[in-house]
Amino acid sequence: MFGNLIDKIQHLGVVTLGSFQRLGRAGVFLLEVIASCTDLLVKPTLLVKQMFSVGVQTLIIIVVAGLFVGMVMALQSYYALVDFGAEDSVGVMVSLSLLRELGPVVTALLFAGRAGSALTAEIGLMKATEQLSGMEMMAVNPMRRIVAPRFMAGVISMPLLATIFSAVGVLGAYVVAVQLLGLDSGAFWSQPQNKVDLYEDIYNGLIKSLVFGLIASWIAVFEGYDCIPTSEGLGQATTRTVVYSSLAILFMDFILTALMFSK
């Protein structure tokens, strides 16, 4: 019985040490990736190509999701506010919710599911098929040519995608609130104009999405680069990307919100 207990404690120790080792490796990896990004100034085409596959190809899911989130937000807030005669505030409520929270967070979660998993799978498959080793033996650093462009494309794309998500969401809310529920168009637009602050709301939202972009891209490229190069290892790495990114984004959202909006 004691032997069994000691085995379990030993296993716990091994797992904990392994996790810390991996976290340390991921930290060193991030520093290497950031150092490797300098090459993108010399070869910007690498970045542009990745911006297309990471950013542009994620656009459709972002636009569609943004539209529906905005529409649902308008409906829900209208039904809640109409009892108090405050339905004119639907516009500002939706705008603030999208700019401060839903835009950055939902975009980042969708990004992790769509682009993050694709990045992990692509880099992991390149590792499994020895393409990364092949590059190293051609005296080409895969960190500079493969990892850095994908990481930077993710970091740059996220704030742009979050902005588009919020903008489309507000338009969706306008369609529901003004066109379907008959709210006054002037009231819908004028309140956000007065209440939304450039620094507190828009800039903070952009900072959030930049941080989420960094986290999601970092996890995605690290999981791909560090995966066990087998089909099973690749599947596990892709799953970990989505799970870890989502949890990290939600955790960081709480931290950033507490820092940004505490009075």
Partner 1 sequence: MSDILVKIRDLHFSRGNRKIFDGISLDIPRRGVTAIMGPSGTGKTTLLKLIGGQLRPDQGSIEVDGLNVHQLSTRKLFELRQRMGMLFQSGALLTDLSVFENVAYPLREHTKLSDAMIRHLVLLKLNAVGLRGAADLMPSELSGGMSRRVALARAIALDPMMIMYDEPFTGQDPISMGVLVSLISELNSALDICSIVVSHDVPDTLSISDHVHFISAGKIVESGSPETLQNSKSAWTHQFIHGDADGPVPFHYPANPILDDLYQEGK
Residue ranges that bind partner 1, judged by CB under 8 A: 126, 129-131, 133-141
Cβ-contact 116, 241 below 8 angstroms: yes
**CA neighbours closer than 13 Å in the CB half-sphere of residue 136:** 7
* 133/239 with CB nearer partner 1: 133
Q: How far is the CB of 141 from partner 1 (least distance, A)?
A: 7
Separation between Cα atoms, residue 146 and residue 69, nearest integer Å:
34
Q: How far is the CB of 127 from partner 1 (least distance, A)?
A: 11
* 136/184 with CB nearer partner 1: 136
DSSP notation for 155-173:
HHHHHHHHHHHHHHHHHHH
Q: How far is the CB of 130 from partner 1 (least distance, A)?
A: 4
* 42/198 with CB nearer partner 1: 42
Residue written as token pair 């098929």: 129
* 93/126 with CB nearer partner 1: 126
Q: How far is the CB of 114 from partner 1 (least distance, A)?
A: 19
Contacts of 32 (CB under 8 A, 6+ apart): 143
* 31/138 with CB nearer partner 1: 138
Q: How far is the CB of 46 from partner 1 (least distance, A)?
A: 12
Separation between Cα atoms, residue 88 and residue 108, nearest integer Å:
30
